[in-house]
Amino acid sequence: MIEKVNPAHPDKVADRIAGALVDYAYTQDDNPHIAVEVLIGHGFCRLIIETDITFADDFIEQTVQRIAGQEIADIETFLVPQDPHLAKNQVGQIRCGDNGIFKGLPLTDEEKELSTIARQIYRQYPTDGKYILNGKGLIICQSHADRQLLTNRYNNLGYYTVTNPLGEWSGGVNVDSGATNRKLGSDLGHSVTGGGIHGKDLSKADVSVNIYAFLKAQATGQPVNLCCAIGDEQIDGQPYAAIVEQARAYVRALGGFEKLAEWGLV
């Protein structure tokens, strides 16, 4: 069983805003310090940004409205410096930026299947949606969609499909609220760990070690279980800096942190 949400879901909107701000930080510094939390919904957006980066005038507001829409008019940002003890940890060398446990698992056929379905539907209906697959049972909750068309399409492909059980709906940040890192199951599949991958720089293990464990599991076909402590210079026998560079290459190949936030790793 797996659940996916698409990039227009309110939680993913929050993740995408956070990712876009991290992308900006990397245009200003090769190794910025940044952590972003976003809460959005019903015309409001609140951001807490811990960083050493100076943002251009109006960039944050423009980013929120570009991703979430002009109807988000009440935007409030709290910019604070990173804790000095955390900042000191990165002086002179990239070290593990937090404590955590991480699990990477090879993707199941069901995870790949639903990821394909979610992307197919989103290409046709680029609006708020959520999808659940359990065997051949498929639940589609897709706003602004032709309910009968989707049901018939996937029934004809061999699924038992239920589309929009409560009827038509509009979805989006005017219907629901969104927050960063609230859809870890959608982002990581069965590789869910304690830390979210969005809105943080690569020194944070929640980003780099999650990506490293996921990629190693795909390459080996075996589960990967890791733990780390803040300040570690090696994890899994690898220099932490090398893990960061692997994660950097993966994010760059996707097109950046905002693109990573659209679908996560699955």
pLDDT score at 193: 86
Which strand (E) or helix (H) includes residue 21?
A: helix 10-28
Query: Is the pLDDT score of 250 beyond 80?
Result: yes
* Residue 162 pLDDT > 90: yes
Confidence of residue 197 (pLDDT cuts 50, 70, 90): very high
Write down the mean pLDDT value for the chain.
Answer: 95
What pLDDT does residue 199 have?
Answer: 98
Residue 134 DSSP class: E
Question: Residue 88's pLDDT band (boundaries 50, 70, 90)?
Answer: confident
For the ranges 152-161, 189-198, 234-243, the lowest mean pLDDT is seen at: 189-198
**Calpha distance 201→168 (Å, rounded):** 39
The whole-angstrom separation of Cα 144 and Cα 217 is: 37
What is the residue type of 136?
A: K
> Could you tell me the fold of the domain covering 10-83?
GMP Synthetase; Chain A, domain 3 (3.30.300)
Query: pLDDT-based confidence at 204, cuts 50/70/90?
Result: very high
Instruction: Please write the tens of the pLDDT for every residue from 98-126.
Output: 889 999 999 999 999 999 999 999 999 99
What is the value of pTM for the model shown? Answer: 0.96
Residue 192, pLDDT score = 81
Tokens of 62: 């423009």
CA–CA gap between residue 26 and residue 256 (Å, rounded): 10
Over residues 183-194, the pLDDT tens digits come to: 999 999 999 887
Dmax (CA) for the chain in angstroms is: 59
Mean pLDDT throughout 2-14? 98
